[in-house]
A and B are shown apart, each in its own frame.
Chain A
Amino acid sequence: MTTAPQAGFAPNRLMRRLLGPVFGTACLLATCTGVAVLTLLLGSIVAAALQGPPRAPWYAIGSNLTEAGSLIRRLATSSQSRMPEFAGYRVGIAGSLWLLGLVALIGIPVGVGAGVYLEEYARPGRLRQIVQTNIANLAGVPSIVYGILGLSLFVRAFGIKAIALGPTLLAGVLTLSLLILPIVVITAQEALRAVPSSLRHAALALGATRWQVVRDHVLPSALPGILTGTILGLSRAIGETAPLLMVGAAGSILQMPRGPLDRYSALPVEIYNYARQPDPAFQAVAAGGILILVTILLIMNGAAIVIRSRFRRYH
């Protein structure tokens, strides 16, 4: 570049050419840091779960995997026990699956419905703005506050014994539903906002009611985004410990929950209980539980990705 600079411009070419790669390298370092930390974390959890350094060398992936697999199988099928060799998460996994299922059944439709109303039906104005701001603020409230709310509202019903749920599964489900409601509403709204308005206009111009337009065009287009919001919400729900502790998820329980009005425990609560034990052998059990939790989360996110990519195709 040998052209002389024109009057009024100071191109600074050298600086600009250097800054580009510097910025790129900084971003790359940030990415590598994240990946490295996650790998170390996962590796240390696996090591703790297998009780000390892996008996096989770390690069023998096959035997490490089978060892981890048998460990997880043992943990998933045993119930709580005072002896670490027989301790497991059977009841906790069942409780967490119950929680997930019922939250998906109760909390997700309410959240998606609220998002659809706010985006498609509510008139833009002061009232809608207030509601949206409040929902966004609720997304940042610490989860223990939801636990306290669940305790006084669902478990104790402000002292009205007739409708109080007590420390049952249903109280936990309702508390977790409230917890994830803001996330689901916000991501549902974002997904609906991303649908181009030309689609709505085209459908309305054919003499369709608003419901027909939403049901046949807007919701199917927004479905990948809404599913993402659902999975995000459910992932958060499955990992929450503090609110479940507040609404009475049992610390020690041996029976599987048979219905929404039974006492229950959840996977993160059991992990927390095992980690609190003074016996160091229980640390390995806790680490195993974390592995199970992470595996469930990975499966859920994988399912979300598969569902999203299938819906990307035209229907």
Chain B
Amino acid sequence: MTVSETRSDRVASTPLAAAAAAGSAPRTLEPTVLSTRNLSVWYGSSLALNKITIDIPRNKITALIGPSGCGKSTMLRCFNRMNDLINGSRAEGEVRFDGDLISGENIDPVVLRRRIGMVFQKPNPFPKTIYNNVAWGARINGYRGDMDELVERSLRRAALWDEVRNKLNRSGLELSGGQQQRLCIARTLAVEPEVILMDEPCSALDPISTARVEDLMEDLKEDYTIVIVTHNMQQARRVSDLTACLMLDDAATDGHRTGILAEFSPTDLLFTTPKDKRTEAYITGRIG
């Protein structure tokens, strides 16, 4: 049985079902939600990513794996313009979201970041109450509906509601690490994004919390696209539908670590029959 076959059968129906369920205005149902063309990123004079071309499909979990320093987090941050916050970073090439250009000069990152949310490696809830942690994002984006209902819905979706329903007025910082990370996911869900970027979300968590977050990701895939950076290859195998393997560019001669896209395929294919030698060496543990 090839898991990918059954998954690709579901491609056609999932976006429709998702759009109908969300009740949103019909949008183009291209299978690709994020794409890059020859994306290169510099930090100062050091080239971090070299001509990455990739198409991230909608309503799937895409994993980015690779050794340290090959630019996985950099690539993730290109999608929601968080690289702009890093002094000296510069990008060339195209990044498109739903067909619209999001790289370049005239993009409003505020609008973009609401549609593409991010969960960070170390859980970073606000020093506010649990309720306000979830509600703040919606409030500043002008949410007009019932806030209590939105908070409950987001916490349920993040599989945290039952644990915090009686202490919504306690500080978010009183929760355990795994609960804090789920709170961060809840607050990201509250602004109703289309894509969720996750930068090693489980690396600071214990195995049980990790398992919970992974189950959560499976559940969220129906309505959101998820791109996850992970060091943990077992996690990539368990959770993702497609995997992109980034490698250090052997041709880089200036001593800096530059990342290139070595391979991008459905997860089971990449891990059983990798096409690129470097990918094979990485996943079998010979390098990285």
Interface residues of A (CB under 8 A from B): 123-124, 196, 198-209, 212, 216-217, 221, 314-315
Query: How distant is A303 from chain B, measured CB to nearest CB, in Å?
Result: 23
Query: How distant is A76 from chain B, measured CB to nearest CB, in Å?
Result: 42
Query: How distant is A74 from chain B, measured CB to nearest CB, in Å?
Result: 49
> Who on chain B is nearest to A213 by CB?
B140
Q: Which of B46-54, B125-133, B155-163 contacts the other chain? A: B125-133
B171 and A201 form a contact (CB under 8 A): no
From B122, B125, B191, contact of A206 by CB (8 A):
B191
- Chain B residues closer than 8 Å to A199, beta-carbon distance: 124, 126-127
A315 and B128 form a contact (CB under 8 A): yes
A205 and B129 form a contact (CB under 8 A): no
A207 to B190, CA, bound (A): 12
Given the interface contacts A206-B114, A208-B110, does A124 sit within 8 Å of B140 by beta carbon? no
Query: How distant is A159 from chain B, measured CB to nearest CB, in Å?
Result: 46
A212 to B125, CA, bound (A): 16
Chain B window 79-104, contacts with chain A (Cβ cutoff 8 Å), 1 for yes, 0 for no: 01010010100000000000000000
Contacts A/B (CB < 8 Å), 20 sampled: A198-B120, A198-B122, A198-B124, A199-B126, A201-B82, A202-B124, A202-B126, A202-B184, A204-B82, A205-B80, A205-B113, A206-B113, A206-B114, A207-B115, A207-B140, A208-B137, A216-B136, A221-B127, A314-B129, A314-B173
Interface residues of B (CB under 8 A from A): 80, 82, 85, 87, 110-115, 117-118, 120, 122, 124-129, 136-137, 140-141, 171, 173, 184, 187-188, 191
B137 and A206 form a contact (CB under 8 A): yes
The residue in A198, A205, A206 that gathers the most chain B C-beta atoms within 10 A of its C-beta is A205
From A201, A212, A315, contact of B140 by CB (8 A):
A212
Question: Besides the contacts A199-B127, A206-B114, A207-B141, what 11 more A-B pairs have beta carbons closer than 8 Å?
Answer: A199-B124, A202-B124, A206-B117, A206-B187, A207-B110, A207-B140, A208-B113, A212-B140, A216-B140, A314-B127, A314-B171
- Chain B residues closer than 8 Å to A315, beta-carbon distance: 127-128
- Chain B residues closer than 8 Å to A196, beta-carbon distance: 124
- Chain B residues closer than 8 Å to A217, beta-carbon distance: 126
From B128, B171, B191, contact of A207 by CB (8 A):
B191
Closest A-B pairs by Cβ, 9 of them: A207-B114, A206-B137, A314-B171, A205-B118, A207-B113, A198-B124, A202-B124, A212-B140, A208-B140
B85 and A204 form a contact (CB under 8 A): yes
A221 to B127, CA, bound (A): 8
A200 to B125, CA, bound (A): 11
A198 to B199, CA, bound (A): 13
A199 to B124, CA, bound (A): 7
- Chain B residues closer than 8 Å to A208, beta-carbon distance: 110, 113, 137, 140
- Chain A residues closer than 8 Å to B173, beta-carbon distance: 314
- Chain B residues closer than 8 Å to A204, beta-carbon distance: 82, 85, 113
A194 to B80, CA, bound (A): 26
> Who on chain B is nearest to A209 by CB?
B110
- Chain A residues closer than 8 Å to B122, beta-carbon distance: 198
The residue in B118, B122, B126, B187 that gathers the most chain A C-beta atoms within 10 A of its C-beta is B126
- Chain A residues closer than 8 Å to B110, beta-carbon distance: 207-209
- Chain A residues closer than 8 Å to B113, beta-carbon distance: 204-208
Query: How distant is A110 from chain B, measured CB to nearest CB, in Å?
Result: 27
A198 to B126, CA, bound (A): 10
B85 and A201 form a contact (CB under 8 A): yes
A196 to B117, CA, bound (A): 20
A217 to B125, CA, bound (A): 11
- Chain A residues closer than 8 Å to B126, beta-carbon distance: 199, 202-203, 217
> Who on chain A is nearest to B112 by CB?
A207
From B112, B120, B191, contact of A202 by CB (8 A):
B120
A208 to B142, CA, bound (A): 11
- Chain A residues closer than 8 Å to B188, beta-carbon distance: 205-206
A201 to B127, CA, bound (A): 14
Query: How distant is A112 from chain B, measured CB to nearest CB, in Å?
Result: 20
- Chain A residues closer than 8 Å to B171, beta-carbon distance: 314
A123 to B88, CA, bound (A): 11
A209 to B82, CA, bound (A): 13
Query: How distant is A213 from chain B, measured CB to nearest CB, in Å?
Result: 9
Given the interface contacts A198-B122, A201-B124, does A206 sit within 8 Å of B184 by beta carbon? no
B87 and A124 form a contact (CB under 8 A): yes
Query: How distant is A200 from chain B, measured CB to nearest CB, in Å?
Result: 8
Query: How distant is B234 from chain A, measured CB to nearest CB, in Å?
Result: 27
The residue in A199, A204, A207, A315 that gathers the most chain B C-beta atoms within 10 A of its C-beta is A207
> Who on chain A is nearest to B81 by CB?
A204
Given the interface contacts A216-B136, A314-B173, does A205 sit within 8 Å of B117 by beta carbon? yes
- Chain A residues closer than 8 Å to B136, beta-carbon distance: 203, 206, 216
A265 to B117, CA, bound (A): 59
